[in-house]
């Protein structure tokens, strides 16, 4: 007879001191917008390819302490935290961080148009507000990359990213949404079974039609994702990547049916995923439904 483990996904306490919110517990560290969206507040069904290029306990969460501050109702906001980071439970390799160093995380966001209050995010407002937001994220852990604790198998982890969201409601009632992000991940040129050293980016554009058809509005979209691995590693020895190694491109198009924002929507997508330069692309079709009772 099988069984399933039960665990706490999020558990935190918040203390406000001098206008700063201090979080303690297990939660999403400062990271890219899609990761802070969670699965229910994206503009598409699937998470991006490179949402969380760092170790975590479960679903992007980690244990630690964070300080958070926002200004003018979310016009500008930032968060910094120190977290448990790399450990045996968070990856399949031996833990390279024998000194149990903290993983540091930072995110700063500036909204040029309407403010976005709150720490957690969304990637679509469906016309509720006009948003132009730019954010910078950085993560660092000493000895946070590798497959062991010797100099040849141990490296520092550093990752940074920039993400941009623009959503504008047009005069005819239609909504244009443009989203993009760029990621750079460094493992000190050390082979790692969990973290891939390299760069990636994604671009998404959607257009929600102005008029209702039945219960809701249709929203066609396109998304492209690209990832390149810096090094081709054999064991723990890494050399320069060749043009045929470590490049992945994912082209996606879909049609969503928005009934009540993120509370009720039906989402479809067709995906062509090319894992490397010489590989034949794989194709899949996704149909998903989301209904939330709040």
Q: 225-275: per-residue pLDDT in tens? A: 998 888 644 344 444 444 344 688 999 999 999 999 999 999 999 999 988
Looking up residue 274, the CATH number of its domain turns out to be 2.40.160.10
Backbone angles phi and psi of 119, in degrees to 5: -75, -45
User: Coil, helix or strand for 152?
Assistant: helix
Domains held by the chain: number: 1
Tokens 């170790």 correspond to 55
Q: If you average pLDDT over every residue of the chain, what do you get? A: 87
In a domain, 47, yes or no: yes
In a domain, 141, yes or no: yes
In a domain, 2, yes or no: no
Rounded Cα distance, 116 and 40, in Å: 17
Structural domain boundaries, residue 78:
11-291
Rounded Cα distance, 259 and 262, in Å: 8
The number of residues in the chain equals: 294
**CA end-to-end span of the chain:** 35
Compare 244 and 278 and report the one with higher pLDDT.
278
b/e per residue, 88-114, with b = 16+ CB within 10 A?
A: eebbebebbbeeebbbbbbbebebeeb
In a domain, 234, yes or no: yes
In a domain, 241, yes or no: yes
Q: Which of 143-147, 159-163, 185-189 has the lowest mean pLDDT?
A: 143-147
In a domain, 59, yes or no: yes
pTM, full prediction = 0.89
In a domain, 212, yes or no: yes
In a domain, 4, yes or no: no
Estimate to the nearest angstrom the gap between the alpha carbon of 238 and the chain centroid. 27
């Amino acid at each position: 007879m099988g069984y399933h483990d039960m665990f706490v996904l999020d558990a935190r306490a918040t203390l406000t001191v001098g206008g700063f919110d201090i979080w303690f517990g297990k939660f999403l560290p400062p990271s890219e917008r899609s990761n802070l969206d969670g699965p229910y507040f994206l503009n598409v069904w699937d998470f991006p390819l490179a949402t969380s290029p760092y170790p975590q306990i479960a679903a992007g969460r980690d244990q630690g302490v964070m300080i958070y501050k926002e200004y003018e109702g979310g016009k500008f906001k930032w968060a910094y935290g120190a977290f448990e980071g790399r450990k045996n439970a968070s990856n399949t390799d031996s833990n390279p961080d024998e000194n149990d160093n903290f993983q540091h995380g930072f995110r700063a966001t500036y909204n040029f148009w309407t403010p976005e209050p709150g720490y957690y995010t969304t990637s679509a407002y469906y016309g509720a507000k006009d948003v132009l937001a730019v954010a910078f994220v950085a993560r660092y852990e000493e000895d946070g990359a590798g497959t062991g604790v010797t100099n040849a198998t141990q490296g520092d982890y550093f990752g940074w990213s920039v993400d941009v969201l623009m959503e504008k409601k047009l005069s005819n009632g239609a909504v244009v949404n443009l989203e993009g992000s760029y990621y750079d991940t460094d493992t000190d040129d050390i082979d790692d079974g969990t973290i891939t050293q390299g760069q990636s980016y994604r671009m998404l554009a959607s257009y929600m039609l102005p008029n209702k058809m039945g219960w809701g509005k249709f929203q066609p979209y396109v998304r492209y994702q690209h990832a390149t691995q810096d090094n081709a590693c054999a064991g723990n020895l890494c050399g320069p990547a060749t043009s045929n190694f470590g490049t992945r491109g994912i082209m996606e198009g879909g049609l969503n049916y928005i009934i009540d924002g993120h509370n009720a929507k039906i989402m479809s997508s067709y995906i062509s995923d090319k894992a490397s330069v010489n590989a034949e692309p794989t194709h899949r079709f996704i149909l998903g439904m989301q209904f939330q009772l709040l």
